[in-house]
Structure 1
């Protein structure tokens, strides 16, 4: 069972990022009709893969869920837990049994009351193996998680042939009373509360659990906005403010997302005044910076990008092969040429804005040395007579991967073929270990802790991550971090694990994204604020003029 991963489509991160790491920006260039007086905020988005909180594994669906649903917690501007449905932070005496109090009076948009039992049922649905939810892995620390997973498939015929789970409910999750939730972990983990602001922990209505397919098309939320109509695939998603939401009410009455697919980008609509917040693509960045000046906000994010390796493929099973590819990348030249220098070279797996960041963990492997890289590759059994297949989802990311491929070809003496898939197909093949060569991969944090850049991505054994990677010492150090008594001690152990990971290099880190957000004339610039750790814009504080 994989952990949920807040992976990023190359369309959103490389061409449209503006509203957040999840919301692909379009915006108002200062001329044109815009939104303004009708109370509607118009934004851009890539096509989501899923709108069910339990089954969201990418930023597009996460953006929509964050508007339609409300969880126990969110994260404040410093990355601390901020209660939403919860009444205060989780409490514990031993880091193993956690008590979470709920506020009274929250309901779903169909009128169902939200109680502790709501979370018991929602989390049981998320974790149960036959439901095949991407979010199930986030609950693996909870007692009883393993018993709810599918058993072995003796004939290798697929999940439908696997043994049914031994249990249908998490033994470690109990509703002590209508407003008290008790969570017992299999082992103590001081970092557990930090995860609770993530999408997978959001509650779902009974009506939704009874018909997941219908709820995916027309979500039954409990957040500040409710869907207007249904998800119009590859076209749009519209939502309006829900007046009965008990939490903080946003000022914007209506949000309309236009969905962009394939090679389409939001920037032309931004310049035409059809969308209210935008990010220029790389090719428009310099012109936009000169034109919009202070109206363009540039900020560091927690979004990281790199070249992922299929460790499960014999050609890339040797760490020295992966190291050679990494050392053949001129990261600064790549950033200067493609992004006009606006991004930051990655020299660690965790970015600087995330608690637990340690500079330079990638070390020599992230240092550009083409001669050493070529010799290192020559000393391996890598088949130089075969073209390397490089994989990416279709859209702007194709150009970025091609430039990377040209660097590898020039510096290693290889040939390559570019392989493209639509975003859902790309995710599926990556998840199924069907990619036959390196691939462009991005990550936006699920929660603000360096562990989130390590265990969900590279842990859980070779079948539990996209790369087919397994490192015994790496996973041992992660386990020691999870058992630490304080969060500070845990982060130190995670840093040790990151150093070990860098020696195996399942991914070659390349860059950390900086936002370049343009705010249109219909949005109050003083109301604009972005969470510096998670990179998302606070829609609730945003105001239209």
Structure 2
């Protein structure tokens, strides 16, 4: 199972809840990385074009090969990269972003304010069908660049709200004031694209021309691997690692055996391997709270699950603690909110009684609905450990609700496509890791009316509260409104929270343990600080 982003679904980067570091090097095998090479694991990405990346695998490569205006500090604040300082605004509607000089793409193209104008126009143009286009939806001119209701061409081919004042000044005008807009700008969709990429996007997807601390070493070898090497001309912080080799794992394959054999350098045991790994590595296994939140999603677009009471009954029939104890050795936290505790704006137990285990109440509630308990419920998941998780949940639903179920498993790209197309015919296992450090990121991108809503859910109160948060005068006030929106969302329950993960990471002998640092809010490893020994 994978999250949407880099944390998106459980992935090779978040295997069995191990966090974004589920790449792996044990104590044997074919030797170390004394040549400056870091060996990691990855799932097969869906895309390597920043505005078209909607899951953690592509996001991992984008973070290495590209650099945006900002990234994030460990406390969630913006960390300027190409930008020279934070965005400024007098009205929270028109924002000015200054750029540093000297940044270029790997092919030598200079990066100016006009670069971002062109890149963002490409990202938003409806004819390009980028999955990350909705990140620009608050910018003036976004709607005019979308396809018509019947597929007609967009009315405009440029964002009216984005302009280059001069080479080093970018001005962004939103349709309405939004105090939280700067928080989003560290996400990969806002990263710049070279003119050479815009001229041949398909070729760039296979061998990106980036601008980050690493550059591609050859093309993307689908289902096999991706290799990136240090780019010495990067104007930001330089990594000490010379090369990162990603081995791609598909289907049920995981990297833990290769880590144990010394073929990978950072390891995360699967749930099945956890206890043996803990006994073997002891305190050397690093365990930390993570922002990865899992749930059982419902196809609200399907008449069978359009009734909120049906969804609530399914949720109440799940013994979350038993799932966590049985599958994850009790390490994870019961999910009773949409936002994890490490994210700014977390509010405890927004799900309330719908997330409390009550099998008798669940069965009684389901009997009050029109749900046909004689029909077989299809439960959907992508291949990998998630199928084991969903089987445990399916068994509980069967026992506590008196229903029959069938597991439906697809490879990740096919599952994601079917999910995004709203073609799943039953509940599905889903997860989310943050794009940016704000509670709104766990609700608005997924459940608000728009192209990224895979659930078919529309909540009027939820939408209204989100809009109030967007219009708030301070970020603190916005967070409060987003909390109220989450409460309204949980009352409708398009997704039943299940658990929030913790990382379990083991470093191989080739990694300097003092250099290993994970962002406590966003979860990713700081590759710039990481050192080999």
Q: Shorter-chain TM-score: which interval?
A: over 0.9
C-alpha contact (below 8 Å) 1:148/1:170 kept by paired residues: yes
C-alpha contact (below 8 Å) 2:266/2:506 kept by paired residues: yes
> How big is the shift at 1:30?
2.2
> How big is the shift at 1:13?
6.0
Report the equivalent of 1:25: 23
Instruction: Give 2:179's match in structure 1, choosing from 183, 186, 190.
Output: 190
- Secondary structure class of the residue paired with 2:132: helix
Which segments of structure 1 move beyond 4 Å, counting only runs of 4 or more?
Answer: 4-7
For 1:139-538, list aligned pairs within 5 A: 139-153=136-150, 162-460=151-449, 464-538=452-526
> How big is the shift at 1:482?
0.2
Report the equivalent of 1:103: 100
C-alpha distance in 2, partners of 1:225/1:180? 26
Instruction: Give 2:60's match in structure 1, choosing from 44, 58, 63.
Output: 63
C-alpha contact (below 8 Å) 2:13/2:23 kept by paired residues: no
Change beyond 3 A, Cα 1:36–1:14 = closer
Give TM-score scaled by structure 2 length: 0.98
C-alpha distance in 2, partners of 1:302/1:521? 27
Report the equivalent of 1:157: none
Instruction: Give 2:82's match in structure 1, choosing from 81, 85, 91.
Output: 85
> How big is the shift at 1:395?
1.5
C-alpha contact (below 8 Å) 1:17/1:25 kept by paired residues: no
Q: Flag structure 2 segments of 5+ consecutive residues without an equivalent.
A: none
> How big is the shift at 1:111?
0.2
Q: Flag structure 1 segments of 5+ consecutive residues without an equivalent.
A: 154-161
- Secondary structure class of the residue paired with 1:250: coil
Report the equivalent of 2:72: 75
C-alpha contact (below 8 Å) 1:87/1:102 kept by paired residues: yes
Report the equivalent of 2:529: 541
- Secondary structure class of the residue paired with 2:227: strand
Give TM-score scaled by structure 1 length: 0.96
C-alpha distance in 2, partners of 1:388/1:80? 44
C-alpha distance in 2, partners of 1:118/1:433? 35
> How big is the shift at 1:393?
0.5
> How big is the shift at 1:152?
1.2
C-alpha distance in 2, partners of 1:191/1:313? 34
- Secondary structure class of the residue paired with 1:540: coil
- Secondary structure class of the residue paired with 2:273: helix
> How big is the shift at 1:464?
4.8
RMSD of Structure 2 on Structure 1 (CA):
1.2
Change beyond 3 A, Cα 1:13–1:368 = farther
> How big is the shift at 1:460?
1.7
> How big is the shift at 1:290?
1.4
> How big is the shift at 1:11?
3.9
